Amino acid sequence: MKNTVKTVQHLALAALALACTAVMAQAGKGVSQPELNYQAGGSPLVTEPMHQSTNPKAPPMTAAEFEKARQTYFERCAGCHGVLRKGATGKPLTPDITLAKGTDYLKVFIAYGSPAGMPNWQTSGELSETEVDLMARYIQQEPPQPPEWSMADMKKTWKIAVAPKDRPTKKMNNYNIANIFSTTLRDTGEVALIDGDTKQIINIVKTGYAVHITRTSASGRYLFVIGRDGRVNMIDLWMPKPDNVAEIRIGLEARSVDTSKFKGYEDKLAIAGAYWPPQYVIMDGDTLEPKKIVSTRGMTVDTQEYHPEPRVASIVASHYKPEFIVNVKETGQTLMVDYSNLNALKTTEIGSARFLHDGGWDSTKRYFMVAANNSNKIAAIDAKDGSLAGLVDVGKTPHPGRGANFIHPTYGPVWATGHLGDETISLIGTDPKKHKQYAFKEVAKLTGPGGGALFIKSHPKSKHLYSDAPLNPDTKLSQSVVVFDINALDKGYTVLPIAQWAGLPDDGGAKRVVQPEFNKDGDEVWFAVWSAKDKASALVVVDDKTLKLKAVIKDPRIITPTGHFNVNNTQHDVY
């Protein structure tokens, strides 16, 4: 009799699972494993104190259970479903929806996942049956509200290590500053400043956690880095040993920073954008003193519905006007922020497509090409006219980094992006003057080895196009890069076994190869071989002309290297 009951229960669960996945499949196409890996990253908000709301209709939870589930949610789920569970790239999980489904339904949905992109948390072994039950009950509670982050909060974290009056009046070292690389040491909360000429580490600088990007001031003197925890560090390259001179925390979770570039405003201002709270802040360019905070909460570009959590994605500084170009993820709005008068801030809103993420300039630095990743589009923002020049359909989940510019033998100047969700590389025409028929259209697709690409790169002095695939589940792909000959794209790609060349010990580390970056002269390409925090990692340098190994940089201080940025190329937007 007991066996019969168990069989009936298993059949019922299987039927419910099929029903769940069938319903969710109608919401969208399946999501690849690389996309799931990318979206499921932990949020720094996991450690922030939050108020627990109670809902008498929700299933009971103890305070300890609630806290455990909250931690799991912010470690695994917030990247897709949002801090407030209102929906981001994933569906909303608010009580008005989840209570109607009930605990049993939600348990099966969490356990088995769906073709629409929900991971199969239990059947994959990521969560236990007890943890799945916990999460099913948690998402029926009112979402806990993270704290806001005000001007007063920012100023409490603002520190000036070296005041402007005490800084060097000229360069006080012999480094070739233009060829310094800033390499993110993700899990230690540091960046490594590396001499591109000698391949020696200049300094390991303390920063925020998991630095997302490094940006260079217009003069090339200062580096600005921002961690996922919202901490901005300002590094002076003129010091005898380059190091921090100022820092501030502009929010609780963040991704983007840049500085003013327009003539007459060089190095005057800095800007950083937060994931939470959804806002950006404009700061003094010498000290990081916060001057102006602007919320990005507002209406979505497509359905014109209010969104409470539109995260600030990429930010760049215009070369045509005193403007910052601020891309807002969930609303699909690009904000052209005129910084010429902070007391009378003027903003032009350009609607493109939802889920704006990263991007880079075309070769003329007039058009900012930004990926709307879950919309599978690239928006071309005209920085001169302040308008949308084009909206281009591309492959599944574009993720260009800053993209890559080169001259195509047929289509003229093009900008390229790879994709998280498929093996293609899209080429988009960017010359509306001499190649009008190809401007802001996908003119060609290249076929790479597989999805999971994060960065693509070329250089004006190179004939090569490089693409990584660090999030591909196949280790042969994640531990190598592919290279295309720009003048013979139809011949396919060459594979470079970067992780193998690194010569690291066989210690079980992942050894994912990430982010090609050229040196100043454009004749070397640097790659990070990214392994676990307790495993050996390295940087590999390749000769761009011969595609042969040139150098391997190993040091016990190089821990979880990910992004790296050459000062000259970042300063002048060369990619």
- Which tens digit of pLDDT belongs to each residue from 514-552? 999 999 999 999 999 999 999 999 999 999 999 999 999
Question: CA distances (Å), 144 to each of 82, 87, 133, 228, 310, in order?
Answer: 12, 15, 19, 20, 17
The string of pLDDT tens digits covering residues 180-199 is: 999 999 999 999 999 999 99
**Residue whose tokens read 């802040």:** 281
Residue 80: its pLDDT value, please? 82
Does residue 436 register a pLDDT over 90?
yes
Average pLDDT on 122-151 reads 92
The string of pLDDT tens digits covering residues 33-80 is: 565 566 556 677 767 666 556 678 899 998 889 999 998 998 888 878
Percent of the chain exceeding pLDDT 70 equals 91
Q: How confident is the model at residue 22 (pLDDT cuts 50, 70, 90)?
A: very low
Please provide the DSSP assignment of 167-227 as one string.
Answer: S-SS--S---GGGEEEEEEGGGTEEEEEETTT--EEEEEE-STT--EEEE-TTSSEEEEE-
The closest of 486, 492, 491, 490 to 544, measured between CA atoms, is 486
Cis amide bond preceding 290, omega within 30? no
Residue 116: its pLDDT value, please? 61
- Residues 81/91, Cβ–Cβ less than 8 Å: yes
Rounded mean pLDDT of the chain?
A: 91
Q: What is the pTM of this model?
A: 0.88
- Assign 166 to helix, strand or coil: helix
User: What length is written for the chain?
Assistant: 575
Residue 53: its pLDDT value, please? 60
Residue 50: its pLDDT value, please? 61
Average pLDDT on 476-490 reads 96
Q: How confident is the model at residue 575 (pLDDT cuts 50, 70, 90)?
A: very high
Does residue 148 register a pLDDT over 80?
yes
What interhelical angle do 103-112 and 2-25 show, nearest 10? Answer: 70
Residue 42: its pLDDT value, please? 66
Residue 2: its pLDDT value, please? 41
- The β-bridge partners of 532 are none
What DSSP character marks residue 419?
Answer: B
Residue 51: its pLDDT value, please? 53
Does residue 104 register a pLDDT over 70?
yes
Does residue 99 register a pLDDT over 70?
yes
The string of pLDDT tens digits covering residues 248-283 is: 999 999 999 999 999 999 999 999 999 999 999 999
Average pLDDT on 356-374 reads 96
What DSSP character marks residue 388?
Answer: E
What DSSP character marks residue 143?
Answer: P
Average pLDDT on 115-135 reads 85
Does residue 11 register a pLDDT over 80?
no
Residue 123: its pLDDT value, please? 87
Percent of the chain exceeding pLDDT 90 equals 81
Residue 20: its pLDDT value, please? 43
The closest of 104, 124, 109, 106 to 36, measured between CA atoms, is 124
Does residue 8 register a pLDDT over 50?
no
What DSSP character marks residue 44?
Answer: G
Active site amino acids: 77, 80-81, 118, 357, 399
- Residues 486/492, Cβ–Cβ less than 8 Å: no
Q: How confident is the model at residue 408 (pLDDT cuts 50, 70, 90)?
A: very high
